[in-house]
Amino acid sequence: MATSDVMSIIQDVTAQTEGVIGVAAKHLETGVHVHYNADTVFFTASTLKVPLLVELYRQVDAGIIDVNQRIELTEALRVPGSGVLKELSSGLKPTVHDLAMLMIIISDNTATDILYNRVGGDNINSTMRQLGLHHTHIPMTCRELLYSITGLEVENPAHTYQLASDRLKKGEFVLEGNGFSEDKSDVSSPNDMCRLLELIYEGDILSAQAREAVLDILKRQQLSTVIPHALPSGTVVAHKTGSYRSVRCDVGIVFSPTGPYTVAIMAKQIAAGDRLSVDTGLAAVSKAVYDELAG
């Protein structure tokens, strides 16, 4: 069980961000763990892409999806927010593996929605239930989420990609949107995310080849301002970040000198302001967890 030191740092950062923070971590060899609001429901933001990645490779294992299949980029597939595919020319044909890589390492929303619609949201949620992750619900694509929080409707032809993109850039949010409702948005808990990561690592839910592919993709993450930021140089971390407005998350596996541990740091209702200072605080939480489990 965690010492008072790590709990004190979590509480200090919670006060600084004026929000709600949840943390779960488990050393996969010693079983030592950290829990703080670990079963509280949080918005996933882009950490939803980890359950999606698992379902994708579950279907690869089942022979339903071929990672080498190419999918043509069209105007209709573009999704606002993070990523690079939205800026590239129509006609580009990335493979399913390329899309999975882009979805994770630069949080590409267009790649995410292509894969979400390919595997099926119902299948993602069914798999999460089968795994006992009862706080994890992923009902919304990135497009649905981003349109919702900016007061737009996916079905309305007047609510275009460009309009949604402009509202996101200007921070024109509608707090009554479904994306800000824990009953209707993409949600999970720190414990659920850590359990999912443990199942990935232990090889319990994917073939050996799929497990290696998933871990390889997560290790190539390029957005590294939270979990890895304050850890010793060279520490290998397989993780995924997520954020929008008052939400900030990072979930992953840290390969420490004493063995791997899972960690999920999730925050909501954080005060508007400098994201760098929020990330710095959450990175301090990650370092405290590292010191507790691997120091």
Which CATH number belongs to the domain containing residue 227 in this structure?
3.40.710.10
3-state SS, residue 206? coil
Predicted pLDDT of residue 2: 58
In tens, the pLDDT along 21-71 reads 999 999 999 999 999 999 999 999 999 999 999 999 999 999 999 999 999
**Which residue, chain included where needed, has tokens 């379902």?**
55
Judge whether residue 3 has pLDDT over 90. no
Q: What's the confidence (pLDDT) of residue 178? A: 94
- Separation CA 135–CA 41 (nearest Å): 6
Per-residue confidence (pLDDT) for residue 277, from 0 to 100? 86
pLDDT at 191 over 60: yes
Contact 200, 211 (CB under 8 A): yes
* CB proximity list for 34: less than 8 A, separation 6 or greater: 2, 6, 23, 24, 25, 26, 263, 289, 292, 293
Can you give the residue range of the structural domain that contains 111? 4-294
Q: What is the pLDDT of residue 248?
A: 95
pLDDT mean over 114-135: 98
Is pLDDT of 103 > 80? yes
Model confidence at 275, pLDDT cuts 50, 70, 90, reads: confident
Give the count of beta carbons closer than 10 Å to the beta carbon of residue 39.
13
Structural domain total, the chain: 1
8 Å CB contact between 177 and 132 = no
**Residue range 221-236: mean pLDDT, rounded:** 96
Summarize pLDDT for 151-188 with one digit per residue, the tens: 999 999 999 999 999 999 999 999 999 999 999 999 99
Confidence (pLDDT) at 273: 64
Using an 8 Å Cβ cutoff, are 109 and 142 in contact? yes
